[in-house]
Amino acid sequence: MSAKKGLHLTLKIWRQKNNKSKGQFETYKISDVSTDSSFLEMLDILNENLINEGKEPIAFDHDCREGICGMCSLYINGRAHGPDTGITTCQLHMRMFKDGETIVIEPWRSAAFPVIKDLMVDRSAFDRVMAAGGFISVNTSGNTLDANAIPVPKEDADKAMDAAACIGCGACVATCKNGSAMLFVGAKVSQFALLPQGRVEAKRRVLNMVKAMDEEGFGNCSNTGACEVECPKGISLENIARMNREYMAAFVDRG
């Protein structure tokens, strides 16, 4: 019985020294790639080949490789995280590609996500948006009420958990034609807005987070829905609507 043949691929990969330099696509050939390999494992093999040839490896972001950390932010053949749905790049497997195929690999494209090097981008703008309001006040006086003792309707709890599933990968920004971060911010606002613990800072939170989002240079939402389609965690557009309602209520109350 003959051994299963691997894939022979042409990779067009974006190379860029830093955010100040001009980048360009460079072409690489890779052979005998197992269809059982993940996409990042394929890049590992390519980098090993480059190192053995005395060439500089390709910089790309990764951490857990379990679809949780959100770091593996790659634009593959014109889609965030590649040609599959409901997954991150690290969960993408090479069986999704055909032998002899050309694969185009790019970093996220957004003014708010400047390129660090090659396929790595700086997503710290998300961290600053979160720092602007993504927290709750907790009474630590010694008379703290156990959170599990606070009644929460199951529907609200389920929606809050769905919103909290956002891993901050930035696929929504990369996919949106306006580079909008409203799905991300909407999810982070929603996960607190739906729970009683999050109501203390509710008005201040949404005003500050939206302000921070605008200051970071993200675009506005035009309701095309591409962000929801490409989100690996299926974050719903309902969270943007909830954020808008929270924002309008806070803005009117502020006077």
Q: Is residue 14 situated within a structural domain?
A: yes
Can you give the pLDDT at residue 255? Answer: 62
At which of 116, 134, 151 does a domain end? 116
* Exposure of 163 in the CB half-sphere (CA atoms within 13 A): 28
Task: Give me the domain span that covers residue 43.
Answer: 7-116
Q: Is residue 226 situated within a structural domain?
A: yes
Q: Is residue 2 situated within a structural domain?
A: no
- Shared domain for 99 and 162, answered yes or no, is no
Q: Is residue 1 situated within a structural domain?
A: no
- Shared domain for 247 and 127, answered yes or no, is yes
Task: Report the chain (255 residues): mean pLDDT per 10 consecutive residues.
Answer: 77 96 97 96 98 98 95 96 96 97 97 96 97 84 74 94 97 96 97 91 96 96 95 97 96 83
Can you give the pLDDT at residue 249? Answer: 95
- Shared domain for 194 and 75, answered yes or no, is no
One-letter identity of residue 172: C
At which of 116, 135, 170 does a domain end? 116
- Shared domain for 77 and 183, answered yes or no, is no
Q: Is residue 62 situated within a structural domain?
A: yes
Q: Is residue 70 situated within a structural domain?
A: yes
Q: Is residue 201 situated within a structural domain?
A: yes
| The Cα angle at residue 127 between residues 124 and 132, in degrees rounded to 5 | 135
- Shared domain for 235 and 128, answered yes or no, is yes
- Shared domain for 137 and 213, answered yes or no, is yes
- Shared domain for 108 and 151, answered yes or no, is no
What is the DSSP code (8-state) at residue 86?
S
Can you give the pLDDT at residue 163? Answer: 97
Closest CA to 105 of 48, 61, 66: 61
Quote the CA–CA distance of 253 and 19 in Å, as a whole number: 41
Here the CATH number for the domain that contains residue 90 is 3.10.20.30
Task: Specify whether the CB–CB gap between 169 and 107 falls below 8 A.
Answer: no
- Shared domain for 181 and 240, answered yes or no, is yes
Find the helix or strand (DSSP H, E) in which 29 lies: strand 24-33
Can you give the pLDDT at residue 30? Answer: 98
Instruction: Identify any residues that bridge with 75 across adjacent strands, giving them in sequence order.
Output: 80, 106
Q: Is residue 215 situated within a structural domain?
A: yes
- Shared domain for 97 and 138, answered yes or no, is no
Quote the CA–CA distance of 190 and 166 in Å, as a whole number: 11
**Number of structural domains in the chain:** 2
Strands, sheet with 102-106, edge to edge from the N-terminal-most edge strand: 24-33, 7-15, 102-106, 75-76, 79-80
- Shared domain for 129 and 110, answered yes or no, is no
Cα–Cα distances (Å) from 225 to 83, 140, 166, 172, 183, in that order, read 17, 41, 16, 9, 10
- Shared domain for 54 and 27, answered yes or no, is yes
At which of 95, 116, 137 does a domain end? 116
- Shared domain for 95 and 204, answered yes or no, is no
Here the CATH number for the domain that contains residue 192 is 1.10.1060.10
Can you give the pLDDT at residue 1? Answer: 41
Can you give the pLDDT at residue 2? Answer: 47
